[in-house]
Structure formats: C-alpha cells, structure tokens
Structure 1
C-alpha cells in the first residue's frame, strides 16, 4: 500500500509541475519591500533561520540571535558551479585560533593604558594575564570575567608566524559586545559603534597584510561595555592553499516576501533558477501551524534554446542543533517509508535544560529530508570534500552512515544533490524539507510538554514528514491562498505599503511562539520575548501581538491568555493585578520578572477578554474567569485614572507617574468589562462600570489637554505621546471620547514625524513600530493612515540594522535601539482587525 501511495505521489508531482510550475514558483503578489533580514526556515523561537543580506548568497544564514545556522545552495550548469544560497565556511588554517577551538591566553588591563599599548614592542609585564574569552560569565567560553556597566577592557594577544606567505588571504575573526576597536601590530583595523556581533570575518587588505611579520606579532583590542552583556574574543587565520570554494555566484534578479513563502529568482549562466522557502503556517490549521517542517522548492529552466546539464546542491550541518560550537554532535543517514533522512543533534541532549534570551536549542534533532526520487542523493561527509566533489563532478563526495564530531571544526556537511539532467525551456523541479523535532518543547508548571503537532506523542516527526510529502501540492496551494488573503486584506485596509509590511511580519509573529496543550487539554500558545529578556508568555508582549490572531484565529489569543488566568487564580499569585510573565523560555513555572506592571497588565487582560467577546458575540470565555476580571477591573477603577509611578511597557526613558496613555488603557479596560457584563445579562453591573468609564474619560480629557494636543503625563507641560490605547474606543465604537480628540492627536502627530516614523513621545526620537500603526489607525481616513505607514515602510526598507524586524528603533537614523524577531509585529494587523469588526456589525 505504501508503495502504491508513493508512486501516486510521484505521478502527481510530475503532472503538477508540467501544468502549474509557473504559479508555484512565482509570487502571487509582487513585493518591493527590502527586509532587513529575510525569513527562510522558521517555525518557533528555536527553529529559525534568516538571511540578513539583500542577496541570498552575500552572507551566512543566521538564527535570529545572530548565531550562524548555515544553509548553502549551488547550481552546477554544464560543469560550472554557481552559489545562490549562503556562504561556505572559509577553508582556513588557524594561526591564532579563537576560543571555539583553543582557550588562548592574553594580557589585559581594566584602566586606560599608555598611548603605545597597541604596538608590538610595548612592555605589558605589569598587565594581568587572563584566559579568553573575556566578558560576562553567562556568555560562551568566558574564562576571565568582565561585566560592569560603563567599563573598559584592554587586551593584548601575541603570537608567532613561522612562514609568511603574503599571496594567501588572511582573516581576523572577532566577537564583541559592545563598542570595539582592534589593532594589528599597531594598525587600527576595526572600530565599531555600540553594537554586539559574533564571528565577524575581516579579510586583511594588501596594506594590512604588510603589517604582518615573520616571528612575533600582536593583536590588541579595546572594548567598552555600556550596559548588559560584555564580550571579547578574536583570532587570526589564513586561507589554505587548496581551499575549496564555489568560484562563481548566481545573479539574483528578484526576491519577494509574502506571508508563508519567500521567493527568489536567480540567473546561473544560461539557466534561470527559482527557489521558494515555505513555512506552512496556515493560521486556521493548528497542525500545520505548529509542525516544525519547512519546504524548499526549486525550478530550473533554460534561458536559451539549448538543453543544459544541471545539478543542484543543498547543504546544512549539525550546527542547526547546537547552542555552542563546542558541543559534541552526532549525525546519521537512514530511510523510512520512501523518505531519506539525515538526522543531527547534540550527544548530551539537555532537554529543556537551557533557558534564556539569546540562546539556541541544543536538544532534539534537526532533519534534512527528501522523497526518494531518481536522480537525487543525500550525503554525510567531510565539510570541504563534499563540496569539492560536487564542484568537480556534480555528485556528493564520499558519504558515511554515521558521523560524530567533538566540536564545530569536525562537523560534517549534510548534503542533498539532485541531478536534474538535461534541462530545457520547460524546466525541471523538485523540493526537499528541513525539520526539527525538539522532543519536548516547554516546561509548564513543572511538567514537560510536546508541541501541539505531536498530539501527546501519537504523531512522530516521521509521520509529519510523510504528511507534508504526500500533501505537498495541496499544502503549497493553501499557502498561496493564505499569502493572498494576508496581502489583500491589508491592501484593502491600508494600501500597498501596509500590505507588504503585514506580509513580511506574518511568519515573524507566528514563529515567536510555541503551540501545545496542557494536561487538561487547554490550547496554549506561548511567546518568547526575543531579544528583550527571553521571558515566556509575557502579558505586555501578548497585548500588542494579538491583532493578527484576533483577526484570523481567536483560539490562539485564548492560548496566550488561559495560562495567565490559571496562574493568577492559583494560590501562588495573590496580587490584585495579573502577573507579568510565566518564566524564562522554555521554562514556564511562574513569574520571573522582578517588577510588576499593575495597571498595564490589568488593562491588557481585560481589554483582550472584551475584544474576544465582541468578536465571538458572547462572553463565555470571560465568564470562566469573571472573578479575576472583576478584581482587575476594580483595580483599574481605583488606580487607573491617574496612575502612580509604576512600571509600564513604554518606560524606556524612565518611569513617569500620571501617564496619560496608561490612563487610557485603564478607562478602556473598565469599558470592556462593562460590555462583557452586558453580554452576560448583568445590566446593573454594566451600567455601573460604563458610568465610571464615562466619568473617567471626561476627567481624562480635562487633565491631559494642552492646546493642540494631549500631554504625555498629566502634570508635565510641553510634553506629548502616542495615545495608541484609545484605538479600542474607535474599534469597539463605544464613543467614550469625542472624535475631536483623535483628530487633534493625529494632526499633531503628523507635525512630529521624523524620516523613519513617529517618535513614541517627546522624550526621545525612538519609537515602537507596533504602536505607530495603532496610533495611525485612529486616522479619519486611509490617506491620513498612509502618511504614518510611509515612513515606517521606509525604515524597514532602509535600516542598516540587519536583523529580523526590530520594533524598537530611532526614527531619525533608522537604526534599531533593541528588540528583534519579536511577536509584537502581530500588532501591525490592528487596522485590518478594526475594519473586520466594523464590517461585521
């Protein structure tokens, strides 16, 4: 039976690719937006691979943390190879290796040294000796601790060069956090701003190479830590004489990012290559949404009237499954039910052991999988020799069934080769799959849980691969329809630029979450607060993230909220307002954050509960937690109109009491509670709380008014801020605030915009992209709305911060302040959501 099914599957592929190839490999909507980092393979906070380059072949593919997660692709045409994806590791020989290979020792000083400290003949005998790396204790391979804020470290490393061959290429590789400068024998080669990067490759120019000398040399580095983590590591390398590399690059002619798929087209000599990266994250299909498998589809066709001999090469490594490159790994090849697999993972398998922000998964197994098909082969072998074999003869090199590696330097290449044969203008096609089985995904209230797609262990990763193989064409078509829905809904709500922004944000918003069910059968959808603490299921991250999910699948919003309700109903939480979080990803055993956000989180939970009720037409979900919602609403009544000096989500410039936007959240929370009470037949309660809300709204207008706008804080003259929490009054059509207030604010905001958008408030030029779109949605018409979208589009299109979209950035320079790859981009759908709610009434 299996054989018949698989034969049918191959026949369906052949028929489909003949009739519908053009549709499958070309985007249904053309996109002009250049993303700072392009989603390639994404599923959840752990399985996440991006390209931070305008051209796919211009750099190494990365995890959102910036950790290398290398994917490499090349096309061999008539014997010539063209690299179209990623960059192979340089085939280097270590002269002074970094700590991922050798724990080196240098001298260091914590105060400013004499001016000639960078020179080779400087006497550093009074300096301390220390082993690298230097930095914060929780960062990789730190052996000499240095972590104080606003502090400096000066490091000297001497080494010998026995033979100096100037015709070879030399590289300095360095990692740093934050402000960094580096010198080679007294010559400055590196100077950075306030940034943190790992494994930066600097190829020495001919002039820089002249500074090298036979015998003793020195690399000197200075690093200043502003705040947070601190780090210094560096080394010197030269390229091997017989280095293996793809000599030619493909010419990228287009890239289009839609909701579920990223489309690339390349010219490789006389042929054209289409490559499509698809995450089947269909928002109405929780099995596919949560299944950690992505497709890579390809189509090659001749551009002239001739047939060309073509082979395609794809590669990754066990690097996909490690947190640190020093972790030992194992990999193996096997076949199962018509699919060939390469599986890789760490040997230690510390399941759900490591928690934190900027970390990668190091448990479970990565898979490269391909349907068994004539002309295709997979291989597991030496990193350089596999490429050498493909370059020379179009085949994988010598392969083995098993491979063990003690560190990154020993990791093999996991390869896929498809001999496409003689390719003419009709072309040839194929696909492969990348997946990740994390075994257990989340620890929640001291019990470990599998991802939703596993259905408590009833579905294996191999079952999942077979499902995606057997339903490839149907799933790809459904993804295409999802892309069109996301684009077209946003186009109607806010114009072309808004549609492109939403399309770009879709996979980022979903992939910052993990979906599972608890032992009671509750659907839970936990976010990781990427690049902002790593907290799990943070309420004030949920709040801005929800518009996407409120629009297309309200069960996912409940999946973010149910655990917060349950935790707050337990004896472990006794405060009259919600917890901030449930821990640090992937451990969700209770709040870890050291401060509370009383008005913020109370308003968030009540507002979202009310919005669910309005969309569903009943308050059944809220009814289950009515006692908690009542406690939180009463807290808002007592403390929300004129909030004291307490933490809120926008306190980037420090806490200010009497926050006018926070007060708006309280008022709208009380209003939402009234609406839910009325749905539950509690009219007396509804009347009581809407009267309170209306009275507070009237007082708010008087307290916040300042001429042509409204203040940031009631007691602060000459201030202003975005009043994005007022959007709910417009969305719910509760009419607490006269239209003139929003009109006045919008008109004022338009006078305050910078090149890249509207600042958050009068204290600084930085902003939050989600709140910009919330504020913009208070506009009276689409033309006005698009005036706010345009600078934000420009920011995304031009920022030099090449990370998965940062929601926290400077509106004057377009550089990120912090935060990346966060789920809050789900908030971009606020205008789509509002239009949907209005059209349903």
Structure 2
C-alpha cells in the first residue's frame, strides 16, 4: 500500500514541478509552523551550513546517504568535530571565579589566590539571552581552575564565545588577544608552544579578561582536542536543483550512481484550520539509479535535541516511544519550564520534538551523541546511544539524559535501480501549552480541548500523508499561477518566498470565549504578541485565502478593549510579549496608527466576506476609535507610527492618509449596516479631509513627508486601501503625482521609505506598487525588490527592512508582515469578483 501511495505522490510532484517556481531566496524554509518550530537553511547549498532556527541559533538537521557503502552528505554542515577536555556551557554548566574590579597584576598566574572573588555560573552576559550570570559592567576578569588527570593531549584548542574584546591566558601564558566579537558562535583557537607545554596533570588555570565596548556582552570558554574517530571523510553530494514553492522546498542531488530528491513539506493550507495548526512537517526522500546500474542505498536523517532547548547547555531527556504503526523518537528538557520565557531572541524549551516513521517502511532509529551519530551510521551500528552509562532500558523504551544528542533515523531502500523508490519521515513538535491569554494557558488549535493526544496526531498525519502532499502540490501550483497572472513571475517569486514565513510567525489557538486567535510574534523587532501594526501589513495574504484568520488577528485586540482591561479611546499596540498575552508591554502607544489599522482591517474583512456581520459585532468599539480619529487623525501630533524605527514625526502625512482612509472605511461599513446617517457623516468627513490633505501636503510635483515640511517626501502606502475598498476619497491626481515622483527616487534595491534615509520597507514598496495604474510602472517597483531578495548578502529569512543601496538587512527578519506582498494578488481577486458580480447583474 505504501509503495502505491508514494508512486501516486511522485506523479503528483512531477506534475506540480512542471510549472516554474522560485529557486533563490535569502534563506530557505524547511520546517515552518510557528515562532518556535521554525527551521531554515541559510545557504544556497543544503549541505553548505548547519540549519538554524529563524533567530540564527543552530538547530541542526543532518542528512547522509550511503551508496554501495560510500557515504555522501546532502544536508547540514561538515564542520570539524572536537572532543571536550574542559566543557563549555553549551555542554554543561560550570563555575567561574570572577571580579568586576581591576585585580592585582598577577591575577592571571596559576598561583593567584582568587578565593575573595565572586563565583558565578557560565556563561556571563545578558539575562534575556539566558546567561548563567548577569554581567552589566564594562570589564570582567574571570578564572577557571581545572584538573587534568589523564594523558595530556598533543593537540589542544581554546573554545570561546565572546563579546567584545578579550584576552585569554593558560597557566599565565597568553593564548588569545582579540578585538570584536564572535557573533554568537564559538571560535576554536589552536594552543601551541609554551602554553601547550604548560599543561600538566593536576591543577591548571584558564584566566580571561573581557571588555564590553557596546551592544551585547557574553563570555563562555572551554578547551577541546581533536576527535579523529568522528571526523571520518564524508563526500559532499552534488546539489543539482533547488526549488521553493508555497508549502514545500525541494532539493535534488547526485550521489555517485544514485540521484536523491528531498522535499520538505509544511502543509500550511489556510482553508483547513486544523491542518494549519498541526505542527507536523514531512521530509520525503526519493532515490533512483542514474547510471543504469543497481545500488544498495541507505539514507540517514538526524535531528538535534537542540530543537527542544533555548540554550545548548540545557539538559534534555531523549527516548523512544511506542505508537501503533509508527517508530518514534522524542526529546525535551528535563525541567519543562512551560511558558516561563518571554522575549524576542528566545527558543522554546518546553514540550517535545518528535521524529516518526511508518513501521511499514524498512527503517531503524537510534539516539546518540550528535558528534558520534554520523560515525555510527557509517559503521552500521545499531547502538541506541553511544554513552552506554547514561542509557536506561525499561520495557523496551530507551532513554538518555544529557546535552547535544541526536534523534537518528536510517531509511533502508535496499537495492535501487532506475525505478524511483520513496520513503518519508515526520518531524513534529508538541508544545503542551502554546500561549497565555489574560492569565489562562491555551493549547494549540488542533487540541484546544486537550482531549487529542500527540500520538493520535502523529498517526493521523502519517495516514493522511498522500492526501496532504497532493493538496500541497495542487495549492502550490495554483498560488504561483495566480501570482504570476496578477503581477508577473518576479512578483510571484516574492510571494513564494513570503508565504510560509508570514504564516509561521503566528500561533493558532481558541480563546476562552471560543473565538479564533491567530497570535502573531513580532519577530526580531521587539517580540510583542498580537501587535496591531504587525497585523495590518500582513492581512493581504490572509484576506486572500481565509478571512477567518484576519478575524483571528483582530479578536484579541477587540477583547482587550471590550473587556474593560484597556480603557483608552484607541486600540492597544499589543497584548504582551510572546508567548504571554496579558496586556500591552510596549512602552508607548500609537493612537492614530492602531486606530486606523483596526478599522481598515475590519473593513477589509467585511469586503472579503461580503457581509458586515463582523463589523456589527464590534460596532461600538469601532465607533469609539472612529470618533477618536475624527478629532485627532487628520493632523497627527508628534507620535510614532508603525515605522517606529524612524522615530517620532509630527504632522505625518502618510499617517494622516491612514486616518482619512479609516474614516472613509468606517463610513462605508456604516452604509453596509444600514446606518445611513452615520455613513453620510463619516464619508463626507473623509472626503473633505482628503481635499484638505492634498492642499496641506502639496509640494509641487509630489506630496511631502509631513505637513509644512517642504522638500521632503515619503511613500503614501496607506492610500492603497482607498483604492482596494473603492472608497473614492483621493483623486487620481494624487495617485499619479506620487507614483511618477517615486519612480525618480528609486535605488538599485528599491524605493526608499522616505527622504530621511535610504533604507526601505519591502512590504510598503509592494503596497505602493499597487497605486500604479499600468503594468510597466508596477514592474518598475517590483523588479528592484526582487533583486534585493535574490542578491542580499544577509542570509536569514527575508527582512522587510533593508538598505536600498547594498541590499543589507537593517535588523528585522522572519516577520509576518511579508504577508503584505500578497496585496497585488488580493487586488486581482477582488477585481475578478467585482467583474463576476457585474456580469451576473447584467
């Protein structure tokens, strides 16, 4: 049965691949489900680097293939493996003696008495980054005494992760003096000469002086030596193709006489809320002979236990699990601090990562130290784990505790000829509790009642594999074709890059009232949850494919105001810091920004659904916000807008546009609800404001950045909703004048946000492009952004904030706002619907 299913899928993939898709991106989505379960490859070759969480922290997925006994690496890095002599904090906790006051000159010698110094757990640094000991001062001196009882290695390296300037001494002899920092990674420095010879049996001393010159601060250090047993030569598979689709990323390799195809599928199909909430991805492997000969083939897949920790030094327990029809391994921290960490650069350290395969496939699984796993595969070892002393066996269940383990699966394809053979692996994450919402912990949508077990989910996901892959193939082709039709191939390529990133920056849950909550995380901008000005730019994607998800983006903010918890006459900025949504934590309100965002997003939902029921449900709250905008929105005071990185701005002309469009949208919704008097009042108000706006913002051949600031300009991207909602507030002259002016201001990698800086926001550029009334002008905006996407040197999930002169990301990454790229596709959908209605009426 499995063979028939996989053959069917292979045919489906061939058909789906017949249409070109996107082949280049700043980073490649592999596993994409929510802000915590999100793994990417940051190099064009899958075997060129370690896979990472979107934050950049290593979460290694590795892949080897054995063809007639020869091993090739097709996924993951080939960095040198070391054996620890003095473990750093990524392996286990240890103590430093330290002082933040300048010590005596002999502080770095072996006989120095540091008994009066403080003692603290490594690493030193910022607590938000999960340091063992907080370090805030400018300078730090640290000493680590250690015993060597075995034979002294002939080769030794200092393993260090530091931020910033550092000096390191071994037994009083300097082994490193380095400026700068290691960008969160470990540096391996050879120890030679007298310093190496100074090592002796018994007591030795590692002494470090570090200086913080600005930004973050960090210190962790240990000693390692070579590990020949686990550095066997592995050939590199030759990557022959790479393709990104909406829900899948596909790679092809030549491995000697065998071709390998590997597809990562995260089935984020928005018409199926249960499926979009299901944290299960598929890795589909297909092998065939490329030389007309027969070959013996095995494939090795390894998932690091680091997928289940925030920092690598956290202890995990890994175990095998018995489930009917499946072979399963899982791992999670021993402490399980559920929902205890909040913030931006944070990974999940509660719940469990799972690797599962159908028992009908010929496969085996084992748990081992990550460093030894490849060697065990090459040798054909069936060892459950390499450290026998830590292994437990009870009723056939294998357990191990420690750090840096790997969950390994070997797929045995047996004899392979020119007929394709296929198998799949499931990688999944059970988070137990997903978010906290006004004091109540909420589970993921798929198990919001808490009755379905994760084992049930894994079995269902395995059984539904062929149908899900077929649905993904169909959707990927359909979405790409629709994007090409609406905006061309480069535009479609941007949509493909954005699709999984936009969705997986959210968590889908059900509120205590039974409402859908689609909780965003403000990735790499401040870590807020349910941010309104992150919702606003992301809505086009969700409006195009499921307006229920837009309601899920808005419901929490409505609840915050309507419950009385938030008492101001405009919406909150956020509901907290992810994953805790107990109330706004951002330090400053954005009154006009968030009022406009909520009203416009509600109006867009009404349009997408074809009825005003959602607006009616929240009409009192919408009316309060509209009343606020009627008084404060037209000529905004000195406040922040969504582009808060640019700072405060008084009399912001684009923010005024947002208020005017929101008032017009409110008037339109009033008309839809039969509130004719209110509709007339606000529609007239908005139109009069639009006329006055054109006068106040006029700066000759364009409109200014702010009222009264001649010689300035900015993108008026908020105008797009006047066009999409057919409000008719601003004249065509406004659109045409701005578009013509923008086209003369472009740089190589896009149109700057405004006249203050040369950086831009790519989501806003795509909104601005929709203001153009012809394809040529539209393409002129899109082409530089596409060039940015394929040429940026910043290898991370695409940033919506980049420099237009050199394509370098400014900070943001992996944010949901790239859902805004779908605005042209949304416009096309709505125009087709309008044309269809017109034909029906005729």
User: Do the structures match in fold with TM over 0.5?
Assistant: yes
Match of 1:325 in 2: 312
Equivalent pairs, count: 814
Match of 1:231 in 2: 218
1:58 aligned residue (48, 53, 56): 48
Distance 1:15 1:156, change over 3 A: closer
| RMSD across aligned positions (CA) | 3.1
Deviations 1:387-430 (A, max 9, x none): 3232123766668655655542xx43311111111111113110
Distance 1:95 1:345, change over 3 A: closer
Please report how far the alpha carbon of residue 31 of structure 1 lies from its aligned counterpart in structure 2 after TM superposition: 3.9
1:80 aligned residue (54, 70, 74): 70
Deviations 1:741-762 (A, max 9, x none): 2222222222222222222111
1:146 aligned residue (133, 136, 140): 136
Please report how far the alpha carbon of residue 798 of structure 1 lies from its aligned counterpart in structure 2 after TM superposition: 2.0
1:387 and 1:192 map into 2 onto residues whose CA distance is: 34
2:824 and 2:611 map into 1 onto residues whose CA distance is: 23
1:615 and 1:792 map into 2 onto residues whose CA distance is: 27
Q: Which runs of 5+ in 2 are unaligned?
A: 200-204, 387-392, 835-842
- Once the two structures are superposed, the pairs formed by residues 494-533 of structure 1 within 5 Å of their partners are 494-533=487-526
2:209 and 2:248 map into 1 onto residues whose CA distance is: 42
Q: 1:515–1:525: 8 Å Cα contact kept in structure 2?
A: yes
Distance 1:187 1:341, change over 3 A: closer
Moved more, 288-297 or 377-386: 377-386
2:127 and 2:334 map into 1 onto residues whose CA distance is: 24
1:263 aligned residue (247, 250, 259): 250
Distance 1:514 1:225, change over 3 A: farther
Match of 2:762 in 1: 769
- Once the two structures are superposed, the pairs formed by residues 600-639 of structure 1 within 5 Å of their partners are 600-639=593-632
Please report how far the alpha carbon of residue 555 of structure 1 lies from its aligned counterpart in structure 2 after TM superposition: 0.3
2:8 aligned residue (1, 7, 16): 16
Please report how far the alpha carbon of residue 570 of structure 1 lies from its aligned counterpart in structure 2 after TM superposition: 1.5
Does residue 273 (structure 1) correspond to residue 260 (structure 2)? The answer is: yes
Deviations 1:779-808 (A, max 9, x none): 122221122222212222122222111112
Q: 1:246–1:391: 8 Å Cα contact kept in structure 2?
A: no
Q: 2:143–2:206: 8 Å Cα contact kept in structure 1?
A: yes
**TM-score, with normalisation over the residues of structure 1?**
0.90
Please report how far the alpha carbon of residue 158 of structure 1 lies from its aligned counterpart in structure 2 after TM superposition: 8.1
Distance 1:61 1:11, change over 3 A: closer
1:755 and 1:120 map into 2 onto residues whose CA distance is: 56
Deviations 1:142-170 (A, max 9, x none): 425127xxxx547677889988877x584
2:55 and 2:281 map into 1 onto residues whose CA distance is: 20
2:382 and 2:526 map into 1 onto residues whose CA distance is: 45
Q: 1:774–1:830: 8 Å Cα contact kept in structure 2?
A: yes
**TM-score, with normalisation over the residues of structure 2?**
0.90
Distance 1:449 1:397, change over 3 A: closer
Please report how far the alpha carbon of residue 383 of structure 1 lies from its aligned counterpart in structure 2 after TM superposition: 3.7
Moved more, 797-806 or 214-223: 214-223
Secondary structure of 1:199's aligned partner: coil
Q: 1:390–1:396: 8 Å Cα contact kept in structure 2?
A: no
1:154 and 1:117 map into 2 onto residues whose CA distance is: 15
Deviations 1:622-648 (A, max 9, x none): 011111111101111100111001221
Distance 1:794 1:383, change over 3 A: same
Match of 1:313 in 2: 300
Match of 1:292 in 2: 279
Does residue 341 (structure 1) correspond to residue 332 (structure 2)? The answer is: no
1:614 and 1:509 map into 2 onto residues whose CA distance is: 22
Please report how far the alpha carbon of residue 380 of structure 1 lies from its aligned counterpart in structure 2 after TM superposition: 2.2
Q: 2:96–2:142: 8 Å Cα contact kept in structure 1?
A: no
Q: 1:403–1:412: 8 Å Cα contact kept in structure 2?
A: no
Secondary structure of 1:350's aligned partner: coil
Match of 1:198 in 2: 184
Distance 1:59 1:219, change over 3 A: farther
Match of 2:547 in 1: 554
Match of 2:837 in 1: none
Match of 2:269 in 1: 282
Please report how far the alpha carbon of residue 334 of structure 1 lies from its aligned counterpart in structure 2 after TM superposition: 2.6
Q: 1:164–1:214: 8 Å Cα contact kept in structure 2?
A: no
Distance 1:155 1:832, change over 3 A: farther
